[in-house]
Every structure is written in C-alpha cells, then in structure tokens.
Structure 1
C-alpha cells in the first residue's frame, strides 16, 4: 500500500478548529495554544497545499470555497477518529449535560423535569446555565436550548428542533395592574430592563404596532429573573416571554394587562449533527412533547388589538 501524502497533522488540526469555530481565538483556546500559533499553522498549511484556504482582513478571516470543503471533511474525519478511540469504562452513568438559558431553566424546564426523570430514571440530567455561544465538544454539552429566529442561518454543526412557540408582553404586579388597566396608564409606569436583552421593550412595541413615549424612570437588572422578581415586587413593568412568566401569571404573582403577542423566535433544542447520544435524542423528544402540551396564552392578541385601537394621549411625565 502506498504511503499517504498528508499535510502536517498539527496544521490540519489547527485549521479544523478554526473552521469549526470561525475565530482564531476560540480555536486557540480549544487547543491551548496562542492566537499566533493557529495563524502560523494555517499559513503553513496554505503554503504546503499551494491553495488559499482563508480570505478577507486578518481580523475577519473567512473560509474560501476550498477551505470550507477541507474544513468540513476534516471535522467529519476527526469526529470518526474521536468515536473510534477506546476509552476506559466510566465510573458510572455520565450525566446528560443540557446548556440552557438561565431563566428558561428556572421558570419552564426545571418545574417539568420530574416528568422526564420519572420516565427515564436511567438518564441523569445536569442543567448548566448559559446565554452565549457554546461548543458541543469543548464544553461537554449534549443538548442546548436557545431562542432562534426562523431566518437564522443553518448551524453547520447542530441539528435544530423547535419545540416551543414564543409569546411576549408586559407584566406587572397585581397592585400595579389595578393602576395600569389601559395602555396610557401602563406607559406611565417605571420600565424594567434586563442587560441580557435591552431591546425587549422596543421589540415588543414594534411587534404590537404601538409606540410608547419615554418613561420618567428606567430600572435595569443583570438577569431576567432579577427583573421579573422586581416586577412582582411592584417596581415597574417588564416585557417578558410567556415561557418565563406563565407560572407566575397562573399563581397571580404577575399580571399581563395587555396579554401576549406572538414573537418571531422559537425555543429550540440543538444537538450535535450525526453524533447525538441516545440520551440527548430522548431528551429532545421529551422537550417536543412538553412544548406541544404547553398551552399558549389565551386571548392575548385581542387584548393587544383593543389597546392599539385606543389613542395614546399622555401628559408629560413628572420628573
């Protein structure tokens, strides 16, 4: 058998990591080397092959057509090698690691989790909170739960399964709800914001076809769940997804005076392409069933339509 004529394996590994992450810094972090080392390995690989694998400014490099083809083939090959590597027997069943939006985990996922545990006692589940990007292999994630728009580009390394529709609207405490029976009264209340999504009020206004004047008081919180607790305490009005507040609305801790309107995004389960574990697939199927069993907010669109039909005339806010 003829000897294989392969490029340097370290260069291939560095290039594959860059192709998967799309950023030199993330590839360097995965391989525990410097940004410069990744850059040098890719330049050496291009020189060895006599072909350009990347293009664009140094700070925003993207793959060429040849680079994309090679990166995809390398990822598949490295995945096959990883799957074939013998490993010592595990000390016990490995937990299914689910990366999830923190407030969604607290308000929607964990209250339903006993149902999964009862149906699958052999699958231990560990919930890790995250709002940002993740890497299935580097972060040890089996399944991730994220909000995604229908217009989002296909993920190169993830199978995406929508499982829950998204609705959004303002929520207040029962005491403030008695004072905010119409849009004008609601607009005068202090507005609560979360730093994880400062666009919530603007997005809701655009979707509802409503323009609110500026408020005299804005209050900002680090996380959604802090903001929702502030709303329940009567500190102002917050815009929140239905999945985050359904339990508090049912319990009477919060009130949605204008109801909820459908949002464009959907809550989705993401699993690694072609190598999702059996436990991850079962959890994904359970999420789909739970999403189908979750009722949407009732009569919300009609409430918003009535609010939109009323002229919004406000006196200047007191400062």
Structure 2
C-alpha cells in the first residue's frame, strides 16, 4: 500500500474518531487498522502531532478551518475529511505528504547518520527523506527525496533494497549511493562491490565499483564509469569536483542553502570547476568560485543569491 493511501486512510480515521456518534465497533476497527501495519500507527501519531502544531499558530487560517471541521456536531464526516485533506495538501503540498510522513528526514543543509537495526549504516544528504521497511524476508529503504549513502551489513536471508519511483537498487556487496535527481531520474553510484539496478520496464543491470547507472522512465541505463574522484565526499561534509560544469556545482551548493541561488546555465556555459569546498559554508564556496572564475556573486538578501558572468 502506498504512503499516500495510508495518509488518506489516517485522515479518514482521525475525522471519524472526532465525531460524537462514533461507535464502539468503529473504535475497535480503528485499533485493528493500527495494528495491521506499523505504518498505520505512525501515520495517526504524526497527523495528531500536526493537529497539535496548529495550537502554536493563533488565528492561523488552517487552524480555524480544522477547529470548525472538528467542532462537535453530527453528520459532518465528509466535510471534515475534505477540510483536513485540503489543509494538509495546502500546508505541505501534495507531493510533500510522503516526505512529511517519512521515518527519517533531514532539512536543508543537514546530514543525518543512522544505525539500522541489522547493523547497516545509512547517511542522508541535505533535504532527504526515507522510509525503512525491514521484515523477515527483505530489507527495504524507500528513498522519498534527496540522496542516501549506505554501508550494508551482510544478511544472506534478506536482500537489501533501495527503492524509488523509478526502480530498485539491490546490494550484492556493501557501499553505494542512491540519489533522486531534480530531473526526476534516480542515480545509483557504487563505491564498493556490486549493485543490481532494475527499472520497472527492463531486466536491469549490474553496476560495479566505480560505476553508476541512471534509472529513467522505468529503465536502467547501462553502467558508466564515474568522473567523480570521491563521490561520497558529502558524507564527510565536502564537495569534491574535478573538471565539473559550474552549473552543476552551483546546483549542489544551492541544495545546501535556504532560499534561492539563481543563475542562467547558458551564460555560464563552458565554465568548469575543480576543487574541494566545505558544504557547511556555502558562502565561502561561492566566494572561492568568484575569486577563480569570471563570475560575480550578488547577495540581494540571505535568501536570494544571483550568480552571473563578470
């Protein structure tokens, strides 16, 4: 069952439980629903936490709408459910609901290291989110947003799989990276050993250490040698580039900043970068680029930076 479907069911239950005529059999059915899947209970608790968060926002339109929707009166279930759905979609954005519900997530500029129950190590890059689904048959990490690095603990009985909406990357060894790129593709980069990369519409490919494969439109492209000398440098807070297009470097730095870094890739075409930059000091990185390339970096506010040719 998809995360979106679980969110919808949780909203339905939360609405129904606030009705004054809710029956004991409905309460029992709700308890059974919570116990049927760990994700159900998590969805309810996080939705309740969201409801509580409106208490800290006096006169907020969303809070007023929710209070009216949940005010005790009979026969309002459909209306309340609609209002709750509109509030959640409007406040978070429909595509952000699964990210909000994620088991683990990071904000802009943050990285998070996680020790998984099987002994594997996981690290999330800036503005990333994952769901963790381990059972007796398999270990699944669903990458909802951003990028992850994983060092897989061996378990011959349970394959370790990273899944996105483009396909899967199954560990046949240990360390690899999976990224949901801004263009909608999924990029799988192997640091050590081998990973089986499979789209929804083809048989898949095996990607060796020092290679990457792109999942696009449900197909795994043939593996290519990576240009990066240190593709997981971000796990140590560094951006290492070797003769990379300036636009790609700016896009990476922008993912670590609140606000916008605006630039026209066409006007910066032909400018390439080599070097090492600290991801926790993007202002210093931008200054270094301006010192070494024919560009200027203008700060209109802390939230708007414009990069253009000098």
Normalising to structure 1: TM-score of the pair?
Answer: 0.24
Larger Rg: 1
Normalising to structure 2: TM-score of the pair?
Answer: 0.24
Structure number with the higher strand fraction is 2
Structure number with the higher helix fraction is 1
Greater relative contact order (CA < 8 Å, ≥ 6 in sequence): 1
